[in-house]
Amino acid sequence: MTSSSTSIPLTLSGKTAIITGASRGIGEGIALDLASRGAKVVLTYSSPKSDSAVSTTINKIKSLNNGSDAISIRTDLRHPSALGEIVSATLSAFGPHIDILVNNAGCELAKPITDMTVEDFSYVYDLNVRAPLLLCGAVVPHLRAPGRIINISSVGARCGFKNFSAYCSSKAALEGLTRVLAAELGEKGGHTVNAVNPGPVQTVLLEGIPQSLVEWQKDATPVEHRLGTIDDVVQIVAFLAEERSRWVSGQCISASGGFSMW
């Protein structure tokens, strides 16, 4: 959120949004931005270490004084029971409808294919694929038309980064889920389903990446040869959450400054 709430049109006033993985980075940025547009937001996260950060984000939202509001739910999306808990808590806090679902939570794992185990596969796929699929199923009965589902995928779905077989293939699966749900839900009052594929983004997750790789990523990004910012991604999500994106569905939008062009 880069500007004051008073300068942002309240295009999401009266809307309720769920954002998974919202304790930091892109997820936190999405929650703040949608709230700045008037939405009531539900932030999910998994680690007790994030309690303080999430509390700070909620306080920021409550101080906007623009009709938005926020609650948080600490839960593990790898547990199927968590999905129903999220929906129940949302409806209890903000009423009988959900308008926007942003499936942002995810994880990655770097391992050569020869070292991959069944447990490794489950670790990635249970969060990156199974959780968004089942959460969509839990949300859709309460999704007020025209609803918005936005899946945060990755350029890795198409770029194929070495040693990231589980991660890249899981994000490709999320793209496939996006297209299936767009075909399945569009007739239900105009629901749209899209994905956003961020490229390299300047977040704390980059701290563990060798500087040489970061510089290569910059060089491979045509627009200004820089890393993306959280706001670069958030603005695309905001567009997809709003009414003005009503004729966009089943699309996977690369938010990468040209790092990935297909």
Tens-of-pLDDT digits for all 262 residues of the chain?
544 445 799 999 999 999 999 999 999 999 999 999 999 999 999 999 999 999 999 999 999 999 999 999 999 999 999 999 999 999 999 999 999 999 999 999 999 999 999 999 999 999 999 999 999 999 999 999 999 999 999 999 999 899 999 999 999 999 999 999 999 999 999 999 999 999 999 988 777 677 888 899 999 999 999 999 999 999 999 999 999 999 999 999 999 999 999 8
| Residue among 1, 44, 43, 27 at smallest CA distance from 205 | 27
pLDDT of 208 reads 66
Q: Single out the catalytic residue among 23, 154, 169, 245.
A: 154
Phi, psi of 49 (to 5 degrees): -65, -20
Q: Which two three-digit tokens encode residue 144?
A: 């007020």
What CATH fold (topology level) applies to the domain 16-199+229-246? Rossmann fold (3.40.50)
The catalytic position among 50, 68, 72, 153 is: 153
Reply yes or no on whether 153 is catalytic: yes
Task: State the DSSP H helix or E strand holding residue 179, giving kind and residue range, or none if neither.
Answer: helix 165-185
- How many whole angstroms separate alpha carbon 61 and alpha carbon 185? 31
CA distance 139 to 117: 32
C-beta atoms surrounding 169 within 10 Å: 18
User: What global pTM score does this model have?
Assistant: 0.95
Closest CA to 103 of 145, 73, 135: 135
Q: How many CB atoms lie within 10 A of CB 199?
A: 23
Provide the residue ranges of all domains of the chain, joining segments of one domain with +. Answer: 16-199+229-246
Per-residue pLDDT at 204:
80
Say what the pLDDT of residue 50 is.
98
Does 123 participate in catalysis according to the annotation?
A: no
What is the reported pLDDT for 3?
44
46, 68, 72, 167: the catalytic one is: 167
Whether 192 and 145 have beta carbons less than 8 Å apart is answered as: no
